[in-house]
């Protein structure tokens, strides 16, 4: 038994949890539980304009109702600015950053940053983002569920933003600083974040932080094929009916819970899930015939 396993769930308080969030929470929670590890909760309230008042508390209440038990105090990114600032300063000192004044229009939707401001140095008065100057090298990691991943950030993304023009820290920087601070050994989350993992590993290397293992779960999509999210009007989880929704989350993760278990108690479903968790059964992509719970 590995007792040093540390996992986490890191929802953004942009609205209530939905079935897709439940799947990510269940996957990371069971990964930690079966290894006798610890599971941490982090509220990613990094972006006040996108935050919905009361959503963070509602998320915590909902997780509690569904029977999740987290370790220690909940971490709020809104209280961690000093740590992000220190990381930014470290990168600045090593001349790995530059101020960028390119507007969206200048970049005209180009998926790879063309390097227009790369030559700039030092502080700047006018509004600017701060980008990381990325070297031409390959990042490689073995995802527990999606297999071997390779990415050359310089070629596929370019120098990326670590602080926005409104001074908010970018998610890529905050997540890396927090995963390290919380000693996370494995990140289990939705595969919509697979493509940003290379950037996170690159940043960990620049900040001399340990890289955790990664596993990206299939994401839940609606019948139109869109990821469940607030933008696609995903239904909030129904806290009056946690047991059947947990059952469906396990089924989505390929765990084949017995049909009769659906009407059982929440604690019985969790007990079954912990005793029967099987990584190999998790599909890398959602199955076409996914059934979502009626709520």
Contact code string over 12-41 relative to ligand GLU, x by CB under 6 A: x-----------------------------
Instruction: Point out which span in 9-17, 51-59, 82-90, 113-121 binds ligand GLU (CB under 6 A).
Output: 9-17
Instruction: Point out which span in 5-13, 91-99, 131-139, 248-256 binds ligand GLU (CB under 6 A).
Output: 5-13
- Residues in the chain, overall count: 295
- Give dist(CA 55, CA 204) in Å, integer: 30
User: Would you count residue 10 as binding ligand GLU (CB under 6 A)?
Assistant: yes
With CA atoms as reference, report the closest residue to 216 among 198, 204, 229, 240. Answer: 198
Nearer to ligand GLU, 193 or 250 (CB): 193
CB 189, min distance to ligand GLU, A: 4
Nearer to ligand GLU, 230 or 262 (CB): 230
CB 116, min distance to ligand GLU, A: 29
Decide if 3 contacts 147 (C-beta within 8 A): no
> Among 7, 11, 27, 244, which residue sits at the site for ligand GLU (rule: CB under 6 A)?
11
> Among 34, 177, 180, 193, which residue sits at the site for ligand GLU (rule: CB under 6 A)?
193
- Give dist(CA 210, CA 182) in Å, integer: 11
Residues of span 156-175 touching ligand GLU by CB under 6 A: 175
Cα-trace Rg, the chain: 20
SS (H, E, C) 269-292: HHHHHHHHCCHHHCCCCCCCCCCC
Nearer to ligand GLU, 11 or 242 (CB): 11
CA dist list (Å): 2 to 6, 11, 26, 214, 270 = 10, 26, 19, 17, 20
CB 77, min distance to ligand GLU, A: 9
Cβ-proximal residues to 77 (8 Å cutoff; 6+ apart), any chain: 42, 43, 44, 45, 46, 174, 178
Residues of span 218-277 touching ligand GLU by CB under 6 A: none
Nearer to ligand GLU, 18 or 128 (CB): 18
With CA atoms as reference, report the closest residue to 190 among 23, 15, 19, 8. Answer: 23
Nearer to ligand GLU, 134 or 193 (CB): 193
CB 85, min distance to ligand GLU, A: 20
Residues of span 123-162 touching ligand GLU by CB under 6 A: none
- Give dist(CA 50, CA 43) in Å, integer: 13
CA quadruple 40, 171, 220, 20: dihedral sign:
positive
User: Would you count residue 216 as binding ligand GLU (CB under 6 A)?
Assistant: no
Residues lying near ligand GLU in the complex (CB under 6 A) are found at 10-12, 44, 175, 189, 193
């Amino acid at each position: 038994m590995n007792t040093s396993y540390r996992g986490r769930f890191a929802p953004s308080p942009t609205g209530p949890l939905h079935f897709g969030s439940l799947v990510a929470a269940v996957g990371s929670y069971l990964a930690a539980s079966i290894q006798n590890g610890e599971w941490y909760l982090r509220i990613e309230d990094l972006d006040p304009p996108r935050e919905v008042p009361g959503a963070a508390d509602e998320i915590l209440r909902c997780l509690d109702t569904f029977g999740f038990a987290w370790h220690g105090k909940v971490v709020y990114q809104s209280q961690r600015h000093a740590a992000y600032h220190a990381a930014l300063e470290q990168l600045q000192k090593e001349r790995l950053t530059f101020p960028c004044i390119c507007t969206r229009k200048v970049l005209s939707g180009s998926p790879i940053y063309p390097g227009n401001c790369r030559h700039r140095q030092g502080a700047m008065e006018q509004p600017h983002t701060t980008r990381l100057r990325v070297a031409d090298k390959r990042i490689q990691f073995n995802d527990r569920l999606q297999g071997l991943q390779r990415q050359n950030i310089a070629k596929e993304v370019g120098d990326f933003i670590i602080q926005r023009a409104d001074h908010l820290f970018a998610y890529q920087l905050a997540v890396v600083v927090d995963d390290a601070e919380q000693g996370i050994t494995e990140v289990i989350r939705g595969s919509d974040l697979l493509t940003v993992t290379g950037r996170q590993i690159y940043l960990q290397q620049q900040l001399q932080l340990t890289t955790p293992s990664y596993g990206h779960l299939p994401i839940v999509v609606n019948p139109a094929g869109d990821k469940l999210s607030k933008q696609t009007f995903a239904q909030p989880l129904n806290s009056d009916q946690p047991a059947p929704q947990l059952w469906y989350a396990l089924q989505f993760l390929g765990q084949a819970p017995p049909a009769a278990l659906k009407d059982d108690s929440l604690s019985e479903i969790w007990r079954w899930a912990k005793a029967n968790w099987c990584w190999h059964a998790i599909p890398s992509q959602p199955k076409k015939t996914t059934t979502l719970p009626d709520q």
